[in-house]
Amino acid sequence: MPHKFVKEDISVTDKFIIKFSEMYIKQRSETRFEYGKIDESLLFQKHGFDSTQLQHIIKRNSVAEDLVREAGNTHKHVITDIYRSDLGELLLTYYFEDKLPKNERFIIPHKNITNRELAGQPGRGLDAIGYRIDNDRLRLMIGEGKVSQQKKNPPSVVDYNNDSIFNTQTKFKNDRDLLINRLSDYTRNLTDEAAEKIGLVLLLLEFDKQSDFDLVFGCALIRDVSCVKINDDYGKFYTQQTDFDPHNITFCVLNFDKEISETIDLFYEKVQELCKA
């Protein structure tokens, strides 16, 4: 399987903003119980409640209100902008689950957006972990996504920052113990079928049988028309591809036709509107 470098142009329409706002709210408010299976007769109805009301409260409180953005000071908190980070993660998982050719897509069973502890703080660790089976051979995808409208190609989040995509993925390629540690924590939250697949990778890593599965380093960079430059934005992933052999790189630049800052504001406003409806 060769390395893959692609650009996907994204038209930031009302349809796009609504689709990803709804997807975000769904992931943030997802529960481990099913509303339709709650026995409401015992307690809820005694007090005049139903599970629809519970669902509404959880949904409304699952997303954070950005006080800095509400005050009109977005330019002052790019580094801590949770909505910027979350839209990047949404698009990363959407690309690898839904936009790749069908035979190349991954199952990403556990979303950071859903399971992080606090709505107003980003998750830690890997942005996405996925798997697929190719001819009875297991492929594990380690996903990292970044958002940047820096007028520099590649932007610092690709090559130069301590937590750049390149530095992060290089650590996971070279440090087996680090990867085992992160996968162990990840596997705790999976259902049986997904735990079976990721658990197998854990066992193969632990017993030094890395050649029995394939590793894909999945990367997504969010850019816009004011700053994107192909192929420069792929950075060292493109110029030093052999650093990741014998594994594979899939790097997608997702390019907005509106400036990133404007798109994030539209996304934030729609999320708040839908949650308060």
Q: What is the DSSP string of 230-262?
A: TTGGGTHHHHTGGGGTTSEEEEEEEEESS-HHH
pLDDT value of residue 62: 85
Residue 210 contacts residue 134 (beta carbons within 8 Å): no
pLDDT value of residue 70: 75
Low-confidence ranges of the chain (pLDDT < 50): none
Tell me which residue of 154, 140, 151, 146 sits closest to 240, measured CA to CA.
154
Q: DSSP 3-state helix, strand, coil percentages of the chain (rounded to 5)?
A: 50, 15, 35
Cβ contacts of 257-262, under 8 Å, gap ≥ 24: 257/9, 257/10, 257/11, 257/12, 257/224, 257/225, 258/12, 258/224, 258/225, 259/149, 259/224, 259/225, 259/226, 260/84, 260/147, 260/148, 260/149, 260/222, 260/223, 260/224, 261/74, 261/75, 261/149, 262/12
DSSP 173: H
pLDDT value of residue 125: 62
Helix axes 82-94, 260-276, angle to 10 degrees: 90
Threshold 0.85, pTM exceeds: yes
Residue 180 contacts residue 206 (beta carbons within 8 Å): yes
pLDDT value of residue 158: 97
pLDDT value of residue 80: 61
Which residues have CB under 8 Å from 260's CB, separation 6+?
84, 147, 148, 149, 222, 223, 224
ω before 246 within 30° of 0 (cis)? yes
pLDDT value of residue 122: 58
Helix (H, G, I), strand (E, B), or coil: what is residue 222?
strand
pLDDT value of residue 270: 95
